Structures are given as structure tokens and as C-alpha cells.
Amino acid sequence: MNLVEVSHVSKRFGRIKAVDDLSLTLAPGEILGLLGANGAGKTTLIRMICGLIRPDAGDIAVSGKPGYMCQSFSLIEELTVPENISFYGALYGLSRQEVDARAESIVRSLELGDYCDRQVKFLPSGWRQALSFSIAVIADPAVLILDEPTSGLDSLSRRRMWKMIHAKAARGTGIIVSTHYLDEAYYCSRLSILNAGREVAAGAPDKVAASEADLLPYFENR
Amino acid sequence: MMRILGQILKKELLQLLRTPALVGILLACPVITIGLVPFGLGNDSRLKVEVVDASFSDRGRALVARLDASPHIRCDQAVSLAEAERSIEQGRIDAIVVIPTTGEDYSILARADHMIVGMDAAYYIGRQLQEAAEQGSAALPLRIHSKYVSGSDNTHYYLVTMLVLLIAILGCFLAALSVINEKESKVLEHLRSTGMSPGLYVCSKLLFFTLVGLVELGVGLLIARTVFHLTPAGPLADYFLLAACFLLAIVSLGILVAACSRTMLQAIYIIVFLFFILVLLSTMFAPLDNMSPGWAATRYVNPFFWAVDGSWKIVLKGMRMGEIPLHYLVLLLTGGVLSGLSILRIRRIN
Amino acid sequence: MRGEKYHRIRAVVRKEFRHIFRDRVSCMLLFLMPAFIMLIFGYALAFDVYRYDIQVCNPGHSVQAERLFARLDAHPKFRVTGRLERIDAIDGAFARGNNRAVVVYRDDGIDLFVDATSPTLSTNLTLMLSSVTGDFAADEFHLAKPSQDIRIRYLYNPTLKKEYMPIPGLVMLVFILVSSIVLGTSINKEKAQGSFRLLRLTRMSNLEIIAGKSAPYFLITLLHVAVVYLICLYFGVRVEGSLALFFALCTLYSVCCMSLGILIASWFDRPLDVLIICWIFLFIPNVFLSGFIFPIETMDPFMHAVARLLPGTAFIDAFRSIAFKGTGLGANLPAFGLLAGETVLAGFLSLIGFKRNIPR
């Protein structure tokens, strides 16, 4: 049974059609990569799946409340790591004990050391990204949506992030990842390439394009 | 729900306390606004008059003594009309009275660059001269009873005004910029993705910034009482409740502007201009008695008016909530409408 | 070298103009609101009384009282909103509506109960009521008219144009709004976003960046100066003195406001801080202590000295002096000197602030 079903969804902002008759599905344990240039419609689609905006047409069915990590981390800068975890844990509906347990486990896994009691604004961006990911999965959602999770990271941090993504997928979480990086297409189990709001290619990465260079034509202006 | 609300309030408080510049500003604002500025509020409101006595007679001297004895005038004698005119040109006096020789008319020269002062001076001096000419006839004695005397000067009157301004500036600006910050940094998007409803988001902001405003009001009142001996004549609970209703309205205005604005600068522009207009039309500076009926009618949709007028009535006149229910109702209604619009607008963000 | 500097500043100016014009809402507010505010408040903000609401009481049911009450009601500055049957209902009269006084006519005289929460207001009201009751007594009791008449002449505003009161203060506040608050928050926002740091990575100095950012606002301010003058003419407020001096005053004051806005922006990190500080430290003191509402001559010596240092005070004094009294530069040198001095000082302190907060 699919965790996410997007069926002929469209969304228009004024004269611009951000998403145009798009359909896709997400199975448990699957990593669906959304690729596309700026303005392709990735973020709009993601926001519709999260329930932040309503589509003008079509249906979206999502299993449970998805965990969400947005482009700009969206952490509370003035709070420390445990305080951010506590805050978002409560918002996701976890009990105090659950939050405390998860906070301990996240802090341990991130190996923050002395940074743990510092406000998030003083953390290096790699740790902030990892924290943001940890918060997105804090409630063990069935569906996880990551909007450019590796944006701005060094290559080591990017690897670490993908390790965490694969670990989550291995436990049955369905994951939708949007990315600008062509090489990251091959970390996904399935691809959906968007251009001007439409899906121009879909399928397993090696079926869609044998190499990164073969992906480029999909990004050309329609 | 209560736990989530508690977490949100805790988050807002920590954000506020961990911004040292903001904490400093919140402490400095009531000190400057309530503790310092009111010292300049019209301590000596007596009209300054110079008399040119051209009669050199007992009548003239009696008139000068009469003017000097009045509580509304501070009277000096000028050597000559030219000297008095120099004084008025330099802004040192408000009016000149020329007591003529027998048979000629009295002259009053009043400054009208500050029109009210000049008109008051002309009125009062004219009255004194007339009464003197009637030889103090007690045909119809006039007894003046001042009700709600707030002090010997304008201080208490304007202190109440300043308190309203203080909590409005802090409550509205803090709320608006908090929302726009969270919009720009995508924190709002993330909060909504967790399932938090726009209603809960707006309510938490309203609650927190209303509480901040009430704390500032408490500090401001304490300073006003210590420095200027301002003690509310009416019940303190009624006054704080009025302030809470006002804060609900003004904070929700800030949230609505932030929700509708695309950028922080746009939000700042809109709030600054809205504030300017609402404050100037609120009767804080130009009383309701000075407005034509058309302009006076704008007060019905101006939360500043209801807050200031209600504050004057409670603090200076000792009235209670039961005597001014309309003030509370209008503010609550305004807050309700603006909050509702904010919720609808936030729902449509993205 | 100089040519390079000019090109750099010009690039920032062009960018700033684009920034301003692309945000339609902000652009509209920036250009139209000052004129809108002055037009609205030129009508709405009156410092002379339109009409006082009063109530009356005639416990003795005297016919003379009714004649007095009719005279009060017919007076353009009074409106009798109600009649009290009993004297103990006086407190209730003040609780309702906006009643400012209760006139009680007794056999042994008139009792005037006046709302004294605002001494300024109550003084004016008392004077007017005294004048009306005095004239009434003179007519009723056929008192001999004084042999000498009283001639009243108003200086600097002989026809008592009511716009003379609010216009200087409104202009003062409009420039604080546009030149200080708007410019200050705009500069601070760019500082917070990191654009300043990026610009400093080029060869631009802080002074060049500030000059480039401020130039468009300065040009917009010049436009507002012209608009302010036209609106003054519209309200019949003529400039008795030199027009060039008047424009010089408005321009200098707006530059002073800009420098104060930049000063605040340079020392604080967040637009919220700049906004609150501008309102608390610029707007409120200049509204209450500049002579906008009541003359500063009524203040005690210390506060008088503080008020004299405010740019708004210098501006209003000089405005009234040039526009209403027709004086020249000589009489207004202190005001011009203060404004120029504060501009230079604020500019100097701003550079220190930027150097501190945005080092290379």
C-alpha cells in the first residue's frame, strides 16, 4: 500500500502554473528523488503534500502526518538543541518522557559535546542540518519530506546526511527528497524529474539516465 | 493543546530573554517614556503677560495688581511697548496689555503662532478688564469647581496617554516582527507542517505579547507612581483588563500586517504609517472636542481612542468597568475581527 | 580614483532605487503617505475647540436660567447635550459621552463644574464659559458697558487660521517618519542580511555605502519638501519670510532626521530594535517636547534645555519664525546651527558604529 498518492494535482499562482497535472506515488521504504531546476515546482508540490497549501485540482492522500525538513532548517535560533527538540517534540504530540528520551538519543548521535548548551545560531551549518533532520523524524513518521536537505553542506556532511536518510528508509519510512545535486539522483530508489510544473521523466535512476550528463536535457526550458 | 501552548510561550520567552539588546530596550522604554519625558509636560501653564501702563494712574496700577493676582497669569510690567513687542517676538511672553490714558481703548496683543495660547490670553485678559470696569459687580457670581483635578499640570493627563503609547508600540511591533521573522525564516512553515493550526499560532502570539505589554504597563505604572505620584483613582483590575483588551486589538493588528506583508520592510512601512494615523486621530494630542463630527466619528474604529479614553476615565476619574462597558466591548470586537482575519491570512500563506 | 568612487556610489544608488520601486506597496507608502498624512491631519488635527459638550441644571426652575442655557446652546462652541434634574446627578453627566462641564444656575450665582483632567482643556473651557456667563450677566442686569472698548490684535496669525497650529508639527513628524524610521530600518535590514559585508568586500568604504543608500531617500525627501510647501499653500499657510530659507530649513531638518536614523541603524543589529528606538527616542520626545502640543516655555529649566536640543524643537521654532513671523537667517542661526551640528555628530557616530559592527 502506498504511503503517498498524488493524483492529477495542479496549482496555479496568478498566471504561473507551478504544478501541472502531476501524479506520483510513494511506497514504504522508498526514496523518491524530486529533481528539477529552480521554479520547476518541487517546493510547491512538497508543500501540497505537507498540507501547507491546497491544490487547485486533483487529490493528495498521505499516510499520517509527514515529518518535514525545509530548505532553511527553520530551527528556533535562540533556543539550544535540547530546547528545540523539546519544542518540536511537543508540537508533534510526543509526551514529555518520549521527548526527553529522543532528545538524549539525538544529542548523543550528533556528538555535539559542548555545543549542546549553546544556542542553535552558534552551531555550524552541518550540525544544524543534522538537527533539523532529527527533529523531522522525532515522531517516527511514516512519511518524511526533505526539501533540499544537503543544500550548502560540504561533501562529508552530505554523505552523513544521506547515510541518515538511507537508515530511515531501511526501517520502512517513505522519503521524498528534493535536490539540486545531480549526483544525488543516484542515491534515490526512484526519480521524478520536474520541469515547469510537469513530470518529464520518472523511474529508477539508471533507467532515467545512465549518467549525470544524461539528466541535463530534462532541465532545459520547455 | 495546553502543553503545546505552554511550550510555545516558553519558546517566545526564551527568544525574548536571549536577545540582550531587546531586553535592554524593554527596560529602557518605560524609563524614558514614563520616567523622563513627562518632566517636560507643561509645568507652568500660566499665561505670560507684560503690561504697558500708559495711564500712570491708580486705575492702571489697580489693573496691573488685579492681573497679577489672577491664578492664570504671570504678569510683568514692561518699560515700553517696543520692549514688550521684542519680548513677544522672541517668544518670551504670550500677550501684551496696553492700559491707555483715559478715553482711549485698551489694547491686547496676543501671539497667535501658538494660537490657543494667544486666544486664551485674549479671552482671559479681556474678561479681567471687563470685570474691573464693572467694578467687581457681583450681579451673578461665578463659582468654579474643578472635578477630577489630576495635578497642577498636564503631567498626569499625558502620563496616561504615554502608557497607552508605550504598550502599543512594544506589543504591536514585537508581535509583528516576530511573525514576519518566522515567515521569512520558514519557521512558520515548519510549525504549520507539524499540524499546528493557524488559530493556535495566532492565539499563542496574542497571549504572549499581551502579557509582555501588561508587564510593561506594570513597570510604567510603578515609575509613574514613584516619580509623579500618579495613583489610579479607579480599580487597578479594571485598568489592566482594559489594557489587555487594547493589547489584544493592537497586537492582532500587528500580526495581521505581518501576515499580509511580503517582506519585513513592507511590514514596517505599513505598521509605522498605520500607527501614525491611528495615534494622531486618537484624541491623545487633539481632544475630541476639537474635531468636527466627521473626523470624530473615526474614533469608533480606532482602538487607540478607546484605550486612551477608557484609561482617562478609570485612572483620572475613578470610573469602573461597569460604567464604560462600551470601551471593553469595542476593543474585544476589534481584536476578534483582526485576529480572525490574521488566522485566515496565515492559512493562505505559501 | 574619484571617478571610481562616484561609479561605486552610483551603482548602489541605482540598486536602491530598483529596490524601492519594485516593492509597490512600500513605494506607494513612501511617496504618497506624507502628502496623505498632511492633507488628512491638516483637516482632522485641530488644536482649537470645535465644540464642547456640556450639560445644564436649573434646580430653582428660574426663567433667567433658561435664557442662559439658550444662549449657551446657541453659542457655536457649545452643545448642551442634556439637562440634569438634580445636582447629585452631576457625576453621571461626566461619565456619559464627552461632557466637559455642567452649568448649574442657582439663585445666588452660577456653579460651573468643569472636567479638569486636562488643565489645558479646562482652562480654555472655563475662560469661554466665564466669558459667556459674564456677557449674559451684563445683558441681564443692564450693567453699564465699560467706557473703554477692548481691541484685540493677534500677531503672526491675525485671522486665526487654525492650520497654523498643526502644520509645523505635522511636517516635523512626517520627516521623522520617512527620513529616520524608514531609512533607518531599511539600512539596518541590509546590515542584518549581510549585504553590507558583501559591499565592503569590494573596495567600498562605509561612507560610500551609506551615501549610496541614502541618496535615493534624500531625493525622495526633496520631493516631500516641495509637496509639504504646496500643501501649506493649499491650507493657506503662506511663508512670510524667504522661500529659499524655508526650503533650506526643511531640507536640513530632513537630512538631520536621516542622519539620526542611520545612527540608530549603525549601532543596533535588528530592524525591530531600530523601529522601537526610533519611536521611543525620536517620535515620542519630539511630539511631546518640541512645542508641537504646548509651548516649551512652560517647562522647567532642565527640561527646557533638553527640549532645546531636540531637532524637532529647532525645526518648529524656525518654521514658525520664518513662515509666520517672516524672520531671516540671522534670527534662526541657532536652529540651523543645531540641526547642522546634530547632523554632523550623528554622521560621525554612525561611521564609528558601522566600523564596529561591520569590520573588514
Candidates C176, C270, A87; CA nearest to B173 is: C270
* Rounded mean pLDDT, B284-306: 86
Res A174: pLDDT: 94
Q: Please give the CATH topology (third level) of the domain spanning C52-140.
A: D-Maltodextrin-Binding Protein; domain 2 (3.40.190)
* CATH superfamily name and code, A1-41+49-66+141-149+175-222: P-loop containing nucleotide triphosphate hydrolases (3.40.50.300)
Average pLDDT over residues B145-153: 66
Task: Work out the number of other CB atoms within 10 angstroms of the CB of residue A59.
Answer: 11
Compare all CA atoms of chain B with the CA of C107 and give the residue at the minimum distance: B140
Residue B121 predicted with pLDDT over 90:
no
Q: State the average pLDDT over residues B135-161.
A: 71
Interface of B with C in 223-282 (CB under 8 A): 261-266, 268-270, 272-273, 275-277, 280-281
- Rounded Cα distance, A70 and C83, in Å: 68
- Give every strand in the sheet of C78-84, ordered side by side: B142-147, C109-115, C99-106, C52-57, C78-84
Residues A65/A50, Cβ–Cβ less than 8 Å? no
Sort out which chain C residues have CB atoms less than 8 A from B107's CB and list them. 150-153
Beta bridge partners of A199: A194
Distance from CA of A68 to the nearest CA of B (A): 7
Per-residue pLDDT band for A102 (boundaries 50, 70, 90) equals: confident
Residue C1's pLDDT band (boundaries 50, 70, 90)? low
Chain B: touching chains (3 or more CB pairs < 8 Å):
A, C
Give the best-scoring range by mean pLDDT among B253-257, C64-68, C125-129.
B253-257
Task: Write down the pLDDT at residue B213.
Answer: 95
Cα C29 to Cα B273, C24, C25, C219: the distances in Å are 8, 9, 6, 16
Mutation target for A interface from B193, B346, B348: give the one with most A CBs within 10 A.
Answer: B193
The domains of chain C are located at 2-45+160-357, 52-140
Residue B140 predicted with pLDDT over 70:
no
Q: Is 60 exceeded by the pLDDT of residue A67?
A: yes
Over residues C229-234, mean pLDDT:
87
User: Between residues 2 and 21 of chain B, which touch chain C (CB distance below 8 Å)?
Assistant: 19, 21
The C-alpha atoms of residue B349 and residue B341 are separated, in whole angstroms, by 13
Q: Which of A13, A87, A143 to mutate to test the interface with B (most CBs of B within 10 A)?
A: A87
Instruction: Report the neighbours of A using a cutoff of 3 or more CB pairs below 8 angstroms.
Output: B
Residue C146 has pLDDT above 60, yes or no: no
Residues of B within 8 A of C299 (CB-CB) are 39-44
Q: Which of B75-89, C131-145, C230-244, C275-289 has the lowest mean pLDDT?
A: C131-145
State whether residue B7 sits within 8 Å of chain A by CB: yes
For residue A207, is pLDDT > 60?
yes
Decide if pLDDT at C360 tops 60. no
Note the pLDDT of residue B265.
84
C304 pLDDT more than 60? yes
Arithmetic mean of pLDDT, B63-71: 82
What's the confidence (pLDDT) of residue B45?
64
Select from C131, C155, C182 the Cβ nearest to the Cβ of B123: C131
CB A53 within 8 A of CB B350: yes
The helix/strand/coil state of B197 is coil
Position C143 confidence tier, pLDDT thresholds 50, 70, 90: low
Q: What is the value of ipTM here, to two decimals?
A: 0.82
Residue C240 Cα, gap to closest chain B Cα (Å): 13
CB contact under 8 A, A76 and B7: no
Strands of A67-69's sheet in order across = A67-69, A143-147, A174-179, A31-35, A190-195, A198-203
Q: Does an H or E element contain B173, and which?
A: helix B155-184
Stated pTM of the model: 0.85
| Backbone phi and psi for residue C24, each to the nearest 5 degrees, phi listed first | -65, -40
Task: Give the lowest-confidence range in A126-135, B210-219, C243-252.
Answer: A126-135
- Decide if pLDDT at A83 tops 70: yes
Q: What is the pLDDT of residue B260?
A: 93
> Which region among A62-71, B23-32, C140-149 has the lowest average model confidence (pLDDT)?
C140-149
Instruction: For each of the domains in chain B, give its residue range(s) and CATH number, in order of start.
Output: 23-40+153-347 (no CATH), 47-133 (3.40.1710.10)
Q: Which of C23, C186, C297 sits opposite B91 (nearest CB)?
A: C297
The angle that helices B115-133 and B58-69 make with each other, rounded to 10 degrees, is 130
Answer whether A92 sits within 8 Å of B195, measured CB to CB: yes
What is the grid cell recorded at B107?
489694547
